[in-house]
Structure 1
Amino acid sequence: MTALIPYAPDDALLARARELGRDRFSVAPGGSPEVERQVRRAAAAEGLSPGAHLWRKAGSVDVGSPHDGAVFWGYQDPVDQSLECHYVALAWVERHNREHPEHPMTTFWTTPGGVEMDVLNRLSAARWKALGLDSDFPMRLWELMSLRYSLLCSGRVTMFCTHFHPDVLLGRTELPALRCNPAVGPERLHFVHRPPERLSNGVVVPENVRRIVSEPGNQATLQFYASDRPGYLDVVEAGGWSDERLRSRVAQLRAEVRRADQAWEAALRRGLAVPDRPAGRPWRPVRPPMDAVEAVPER
């Protein structure tokens, strides 16, 4: 069994999502000294710095998913704006796996590696600093693991979101990896929600645009925020077009994104642990520690 589209959550599922989201990433005052000690001990046992140890671990832990079983998310839930799609996805996966154990599904955080590394979310900024690491380092770890999760998927992938922004992790790393992944590709990325009625900047998305963007592969390729990046569709302008003209423009944009994805993948093959975004616009947080072990994603 795979996710049904359109997705229609019920009150019990949303209640479970709220429960899962409550204090999910809240950190106790001072963080966890025990987790900091665990990291130090493990790093010392390997003869590495804490950063190098965690970087290598992020590049090797098990973040695989069953065939047709990977689930991703992004943004607020369009049914209940008080909820993040993250927690709705977690609640849905819980229910699915309980009712259909013969076909398990997983999110990034419910893979064996995600569960193992989740303990690091108990570290405060001060604890990361005590380990010699800056506040960007955890995000670098999650992005590396998410990259590997995306490259290891196969078959149908379920997306709990309505669209994406090219500058967030979903748009800059996960979707390019999923589109380039020969075992997935854009047509196998199934969004449980239609494109939004309104963008986060307040722009209304016309119904003809929502309908055509909903067609297979389009929702995983087109973006509506950055006109200087591949796949940008001006939804206001497109609202006045005929279906024929709109589909022609979508085809051009998808070809543009394919070319950008090829450049992205080439950069990845050259060994960049977290590669450039499409169109060569790199994400530039602080680099990993100089002695970090380079992690090569499985292909």
Structure 2
Amino acid sequence: MSTLIPENVEALALELAHREAHAAKLASGRAKAIADELEAAAGDKSISEYLLAFVNDEAGVRPPEGPAPQSAFWSFGHDHPEAPMNHKGEPFLDNRYIAEAWAHLQNEQRPGSAQTLETTAAGRRLNEMYLWEDEVLEELAQRDDEITWGFARECWAGLSETYAKAAEGQVVVFAQTGHTLSILHNTESPALQANHAVGLDNIHFAFEAPQWWPEAARDELGTNAVRAVAQFDNPSREGYIDPAVYEASAPEVREATLAKAMEHATPQQEAPAQEVPEQEAPQQEAAAQEVPAAEGPVPSAPAAEAPAPEAPAAEVPAAEGPVAEAETLEPEVPAAAPLEANTPPPPLWQAGFNPKPSRAAHGSSGPSAVNPEGPTVGAELASRAAGNGMDGPA
């Protein structure tokens, strides 16, 4: 039986969310320093050229030597009375922090087993730039007119795609669906499906399908594969399914609807062929043909190499520089605010959600959630499916 998000995950997610909200406020006062640092790092390039090269460099998303962690991606979030206020002045908990809390707790049990985009080297660096803060954008735009709010989103989308292309094995998506305005739907999911080391079968959602979907829609559209491909908010785009219409349709119509939506799955690429050095083939062939008699004492087999030491459990990072000094003060946590009667319920933890650590890279979906200006379509279902936020600026 599925349950709400575990209390230990929720509590840590709220702590991380308030810490990041506090750091973002302080970053606004450091806009000039942030711009100076980026200008110095860019050297003879423009800041925008430097950033685009940075987000496309796979080296920044690769973990250090040792066991590779499992990828975690995220999108949107949900209303929470104890969460920081979003741009609309409403308490909202991004799924970013739920993913980060889950990864942190996984790493406590098995060091180095999970991570999100924002906890990798490149993700931390991009996050510290606070490109979505108005003061930072204004300062950067004075030095490079290519840098806009849309450019900031392009940077996060680019880094997210780099992560998705580098991922391996089973990945975990902290979302209920992929909204058509999200980086998850437009960039990450197609890249994961095409990735020869991941593919559609290895995309696993951490949450169940939305609870307000009708029963048959939840059962048949709520699978990992369907939610990774289809979308449920914009009838003008490919792969759209209306859960309410789907529920009321005859079985054969539902089957055809589902098949049509799944036609938009991205084909998985073939794994690159493993090249064998030319000199190895004759040696292997000779070895197979001739086994020399042992002369003298037979040497014992070498002892198995000791496994590489595991990385220490990931600690919740403290902000650096001027922010670190301010972090000695506890960020103010607003009092719980009552949720409106028509607020969608929080997501349910996916039944059977216990992804095994595998050789995977990384993942996630950009900075704090920003709500698009109203839903894409006017239907109540689409509005509720969209939630109040998304992965990265819209």
TM norm structure 2? 0.57
* Larger gyration radius, structure 1 or structure 2: 2
Greater CA drift, 159-168 or 246-255: 246-255
* Structure 1 residues 170 and 13: CA distance shift in structure 2, 3 A: same
Distance 1:237 1:57, change over 3 A: same
Q: Structure 1 42/82 Cα, relative in aligned 2: closer, same or farther at 3 Å? A: closer
Q: Which residue of 2 aligns with 1:10?
A: 6
The yes-or-no answer on 1:168 pairing with 2:164 is no
- Among 185, 202, 220, the residue aligned to 1:212: 220
Q: Which amino acid aligns with 2:173?
A: M
Contact 1:162/1:195 (8 A) holds in 2: yes
Shift of 1:243: 4.8
> Could you tell me how far apart the structure 1 residues matched to 2:247 and 2:118 are?
38
- 1:67–1:156 CA contact under 8 A, matched in 2: no
Change (3 A) 1:213 1:184: same
Q: Is 2:54 the counterpart of 1:57? A: yes
Coordinate RMSD, CA, aligned: 2.6
Paired AA for residue 209 in structure 2: P
Counterpart-to-counterpart distance in 2, 1:237 and 1:67 = 43
Residue 79 of structure 1, CA deviation: 8.6
- Specify the alignment match of 1:144 in structure 2: 158
Give aligned-pair identity as a percent.
Answer: 23
* Aligned-partner SS, 2:30: coil
Cα distance between partner residues in 2 of 1:98 and 1:210: 33
**Residues 62-117 of structure 1: per-residue CA shift (max 9 Å, x gap):** 2136767000111124898842211111111111111111x511111111211222
- Does the C-alpha gap of structure 1 residues 79 and 127 become closer, same or farther in structure 2, counting only changes over 3 Å? closer
The one-letter code matched in structure 1 to 2:76 is: Y
Q: 1:211 to 1:121 in 2, by over 3 A?
A: same
Amino acid at match of 1:55: L
Instruction: State TM-score, norm by structure 1.
Output: 0.74
1:112 equivalent in structure 2 = 121
1: CA distance, partners of 2:199 / 2:117 = 18
Q: Deviations over 1:248-286 (max 9, x none)?
A: 42122101x13xx46xx9xxxxxxxxxxxxxxxxxxxxx
Q: 1:79 to 1:24 in 2, by over 3 A?
A: closer
| SS of residue matched to 1:197 | coil
Shift of 1:12: 2.7
State the number of aligned residues: 247
Q: In the alignment, is the contact (CA less than 8 A) between 1:77 and 1:88 conserved in 2?
A: no
SS of equivalent to 1:149: helix
Whether the aligned pair in 2 keeps the contact of 1:155 and 1:184 (CA below 8 Å) is yes
Amino acid at match of 1:174: E
In structure 1, the partner of 2:38 is: 39
Q: Is the 8 A contact 1:232 1:253 kept in 2?
A: yes
* Amino acid in structure 2 at the alignment position of 1:232: Y
Work out the CA distance in 2 between the residues paired with 1:6 and 1:62. Answer: 36
- The answer to which structure, 1 or 2, has the higher relative contact order (CA under 8 A, 6+ apart) is 2
User: How many angstroms apart in 2 are the aligned matches of 1:141 and 1:215?
Assistant: 30
Does the aligned pair in 2 maintain the 1:6–1:193 contact within 8 Å? no
Tell whether 2:71 aligns with 1:70: yes
Relative distance call for 1:49 and 1:7 in structure 2 (3 A) is: farther
Between 230-239 and 87-96, report the one with greater CA deviation.
230-239
1:164 deviates by 1.4
Higher helix share: 1
Asked whether the 8 Å contact 1:7–1:193 carries over to 2, the reply is: no
Of 219-228 and 142-151, deviating more is: 219-228
Q: Secondary structure at the match of 1:71?
A: strand
Aligned counterparts of 2:235 and 2:60: Cα–Cα separation in 1: 37
Structure 2's unaligned 5+ residue stretches are: 82-90, 270-394
CA contact (8 A) 1:69 1:156 kept: yes
SS in structure 2 of the partner of residue 193 of structure 1: coil
- Separation (CA, whole Å) in 2 of partners of 1:118 and 1:187: 30
How far has the Cα of 1:7 moved from its partner? 6.7
Alignment partner, residue 22 of structure 1: 18
Give the residue type in structure 1 aligned to 2:166.
L
1:21 is displaced (CA, Å) by: 0.7
Q: Is the 8 A contact 1:27 1:121 kept in 2?
A: no
Tell me the equivalent position of 2:290: none
Distance 2:8 2:215 in 1: 30
